[in-house]
Chains A and B, each alone.
Chain A
Amino acid sequence: MQVVIRPASRGWVRLDQHLRTLTAFADLLYTLSLHRISVRYKQTVAGVLWAVLQPLLMMVIFTVVFSRLARIPSEGVPYALFAYTALLPWTLFSTAITNGTNSLVSHTQLITKVYFPREILPLTYLVAAMFDFAMGLVVFAALIGWYGIAITAHLLAVLPLLLLLCAWALTVMLVLAVLQVRFRDVGVALPVLVQLWMFASPVIYPLSVVPARWRWWYDLNPMAGIIGAFRDALLQRPLSDAAALDVAIAVTAIALPVAYAFFKRAEATMADVI
Chain B
Amino acid sequence: MIDIRFEDVSKRYRIRRPEVRGGARVTGDFWAVRDVTFDVPRGETLGIIGPNGAGKSTVLKLLSRITAPTRGTITLHGRVAALIEVGSGFHPELTGLENVFLSGSILGMKRREIAAKLDRIIEFSGVGSFVDVPVKWYSSGMYVRLGFSIAAHLEADILLVDEVLAVGDAAFQLQCYERIGELRRSGTTMLFISHDLASVDRLCDRVLLMNAGTLAAVGSPRDVIRAYESLSDDNSAGRLADAAHITGTGAARILDVTFRDECGREVPGTTTGGPLCTRVDVDVLTPIVDAVVEVFYYSRDGRTLHCQQTTALGGEMLSLWAGRRSLEFTCPEMGLQPGVYAIGACVRDASSAAAIDWWYGTRLLMIEPGKNVRGYFYAPHTWRWADVAERQRHSADV
Q: Do A and B originate from a single complex?
A: yes
Q: How distant is A13 from chain B, measured CB to nearest CB, in Å?
A: 16
Complex contact A272–B79 (CB within 8 A): no
Q: How distant is B60 from chain A, measured CB to nearest CB, in Å?
A: 10
Among residues 47 to 93 in chain B, which have CB atoms less than 8 Å away from a CB atom of chain A?
61-80, 82, 84-85, 88-89, 91, 93
Complex contact B77–A1 (CB within 8 A): yes
- Chain B CB within 8 A of A113 CB: yes
8 Å CB contact of A114 from B13, B71, B84: B84
- Chain A CB within 8 A of B107 CB: yes
Interface readout for A1-44 with B: 1 if CB under 8 Å, 0 if not? 11111111001000000000000010110111001001100110
Task: Determine which residue in B77, B98, B106, B108 has the highest number of CB atoms from chain A within 10 A of its CB, and name it.
Answer: B106
Complex contact A114–B94 (CB within 8 A): no
8 Å CB contact of A6 from B63, B73, B88, B93: B73
- Chain A CB within 8 A of B102 CB: yes
Known A-B contacts A6-B69, A31-B105, A35-B102; A1 and B78 likewise in contact (beta carbons under 8 Å): yes
Complex contact B71–A27 (CB within 8 A): no
Q: How distant is A122 from chain B, measured CB to nearest CB, in Å?
A: 16
> Which of A50-58, A78-86, A104-112 lines the interface with chain B?
A104-112
Complex contact B94–A183 (CB within 8 A): no
8 Å CB contact of B62 from A5, A25, A28: A5
- Chain B CB within 8 A of A216 CB: no
Complex contact A31–B65 (CB within 8 A): no
| Residues on B with beta carbons closer than 8 Å to the beta carbon of A2 | 75-77
| Residues on B with beta carbons closer than 8 Å to the beta carbon of A42 | 93-94
- Chain B CB within 8 A of A269 CB: yes
Count of A interface residues, CB-CB < 8 Å: 34
Complex contact A110–B77 (CB within 8 A): no
- Chain A CB within 8 A of B110 CB: yes
Complex contact B89–A110 (CB within 8 A): yes
Identify the closest chain A residue to B14 (Cβ). A272
Identify the closest chain B residue to A5 (Cβ). B74
Complex contact B106–A28 (CB within 8 A): yes
Known A-B contacts A31-B105, A114-B64; A3 and B80 likewise in contact (beta carbons under 8 Å): yes
Complex contact B102–A112 (CB within 8 A): no
8 Å CB contact of A32 from B66, B77, B88, B102: B102
Complex contact B69–A7 (CB within 8 A): yes
Complex contact B66–A271 (CB within 8 A): yes
| Residues on B with beta carbons closer than 8 Å to the beta carbon of A110 | 88-89, 106
Sorting the interface of chain B by its residue count into under 10, 10 to 19, 20 to 34 or 35 or more gives: 35 or more
Interface readout for B216-246 with A: 1 if CB under 8 Å, 0 if not? 0000000000000000000000000000000
Complex contact B88–A115 (CB within 8 A): no
Among residues 92 to 132 in chain B, which have CB atoms less than 8 Å away from a CB atom of chain A?
93-94, 98, 101-102, 105-111
- Chain A CB within 8 A of B315 CB: no
8 Å CB contact of B68 from A35, A43, A113, A269: A269
Known A-B contacts A7-B69, A30-B111, A110-B89; A39 and B94 likewise in contact (beta carbons under 8 Å): yes
Identify the closest chain B residue to A31 (Cβ). B105
Q: How far is the CA of A31 from the CA of B89 in the complex (A)?
A: 12
Q: How far is the CA of A110 from the CA of B103 in the complex (A)?
A: 10
| Residues on B with beta carbons closer than 8 Å to the beta carbon of A39 | 91, 93-94
Known A-B contacts A30-B111, A32-B105; A5 and B89 likewise in contact (beta carbons under 8 Å): no
| Residues on A with beta carbons closer than 8 Å to the beta carbon of B75 | 2-5
8 Å CB contact of A116 from B61, B101, B106, B110: B106
| Residues on B with beta carbons closer than 8 Å to the beta carbon of A114 | 64, 66, 82, 84, 88-89, 106-107
Complex contact A28–B68 (CB within 8 A): no
Q: How distant is B86 from chain A, measured CB to nearest CB, in Å?
A: 10
Q: How far is the CA of A30 from the CA of B64 in the complex (A)?
A: 22
Q: How far is the CA of A30 from the CA of B110 in the complex (A)?
A: 11
Identify the closest chain B residue to A36 (Cβ). B91
8 Å CB contact of A109 from B79, B88, B102, B109: B88
Q: How far is the CA of A272 from the CA of B12 in the complex (A)?
A: 10
8 Å CB contact of A113 from B63, B66, B74, B79: B66
| Residues on B with beta carbons closer than 8 Å to the beta carbon of A270 | 67
| Residues on A with beta carbons closer than 8 Å to the beta carbon of B68 | 5-8, 11, 268-269
| Residues on B with beta carbons closer than 8 Å to the beta carbon of A3 | 65, 75-76, 80
Known A-B contacts A4-B75, A7-B70, A7-B71; A115 and B65 likewise in contact (beta carbons under 8 Å): yes
Complex contact A115–B66 (CB within 8 A): yes
Identify the closest chain A residue to B32 (Cβ). A272
Identify the closest chain A residue to B23 (Cβ). A183
Among residues 97 to 140 in chain A, which have CB atoms less than 8 Å away from a CB atom of chain B?
109-116
Q: Can you list 13 contacts pairing A with B, beta carbon distance less than 8 Å?
A: A1-B79, A3-B80, A5-B68, A7-B69, A27-B109, A42-B94, A43-B93, A111-B66, A112-B66, A114-B106, A115-B82, A269-B67, A272-B67
A interface residues (Cβ-Cβ under 8 A, vs B): 1-8, 11, 25, 27-28, 30-32, 35, 38-39, 42-43, 109-116, 183, 268-272
Apart from A7-B70, A27-B111, A115-B65, 15 more pairs, CB < 8 Å? A2-B75, A5-B75, A6-B69, A25-B108, A28-B108, A30-B111, A31-B102, A32-B105, A32-B106, A42-B94, A112-B66, A113-B85, A114-B64, A114-B89, A268-B67
Shortest Cβ-Cβ A-B pairs, 6 listed: A268-B68, A115-B65, A5-B74, A28-B105, A31-B105, A8-B68
